[in-house]
Amino acid sequence: MNILKAIGLNEFKNWDILRRLLAELIGTFLLITISLSGIHEIKSAVGFALANGLLLASIIAYTGHISGGHVNPAVTLGMFICKYIKLLPALCYVVVQILGAMLGQMVARLIVDKDYKKISRKVPTFSERSEFGLEVLETFLLVSVALSVTDPRRSARGVGSAALAIGLSAAASLCAVTEYKASLNPVGHLATSIYLKSSPNWVYWGGPLLGGLLAGLVYRYILSYGRPANIRVVYKP
């Protein structure tokens, strides 16, 4: 019984988990739909990064009080490592994030001209090793910021808006690596690959997930102020 409680099975006894999963589904759907429908048409790398960051911040502000506004398996992994979320809810979060991304790219196809086949931002080719390393570093920063600004034991001084802090960290990472198409979000890369009818690249799954894992370990064992083991944290925009 204690094992079932530890993995979060008890959280499925009420409707709250359904609300959380629906919030993640809607949030991921909006993130992917809006990004694929318009943001990728922005020619300026800085404009592209800022638009994505502010979009993410807006979605977190919208869904954060219900589900935490993860909308990213790498964030969910980091949250799980730090015990912000239990195992079964975390797995369900990832499932609905993938579903939301798939629905998002389908709707984007309906919105955008049918002849539109490729993202207009042209970037040079990097080696897979370089791209993997950048994905790890960028996602490490994104998830670390998310864990820090939502830490219930941390003083609110200097935090400001958690949603904006997370969104701006994503924008900053994208600005810093304008020479290649950054992912930071495995389901975002999956949806984009399907949308463009291209093959998914393991780099954009493995890199973000490793970055999220490392961020969770570093924050839990080094930077965390400490927390009760069974607390569920949501963003506080």
* 120 or 60, higher pLDDT: 60
Greatest mean pLDDT among 17-21, 34-38, 157-161, 169-173? 17-21
Lowest mean pLDDT among 77-81, 199-203, 232-236: 232-236
Give the tokens for residue 237. 């925009």
pLDDT at 153: 75
pLDDT at 231: 46
pLDDT at 110: 85
Considering the chain, what is the average pLDDT of its residues? 82
How far, CA to CA in Å, does 236 sit from each of 44, 65, 109, 122, 197? 31, 6, 33, 37, 37
CB-based contact 149:169 (threshold 8 Å): no
* 160 or 220, higher pLDDT: 220
Given a cut of 90, whether residue 218 has pLDDT beyond it is: yes
pLDDT at 229: 44
Lowest mean pLDDT among 83-87, 104-108, 172-176: 172-176
Domains (range + CATH), the chain: 13-114+128-223 (1.20.1080.10)
Question: pLDDT tens for residues 32-43?
Answer: 998 888 766 667
Distance, CA of 20 to CA of 76 (rounded, Å): 13
Cβ neighbors of 203 (< 8 A, separation 6 or more) are 128, 131, 132, 135
Helices marked H in the chain:
2-6, 16-37, 45-67, 73-81, 87-111, 128-149, 162-176, 186-195, 203-218
Given a cut of 80, whether residue 164 has pLDDT beyond it is: yes
CB-based contact 203:128 (threshold 8 Å): yes
- For residue 232, the 8-state DSSP code is P
Given a cut of 60, whether residue 233 has pLDDT beyond it is: no
Based on the number of CB atoms within 10 Å of its own CB, is 56 exposed (0-12), middle (13-18) or buried (19 or more)?
A: buried
Give the tokens for residue 6. 């530890």
Given a cut of 50, whether residue 120 has pLDDT beyond it is: no
Given a cut of 70, whether residue 50 has pLDDT beyond it is: yes
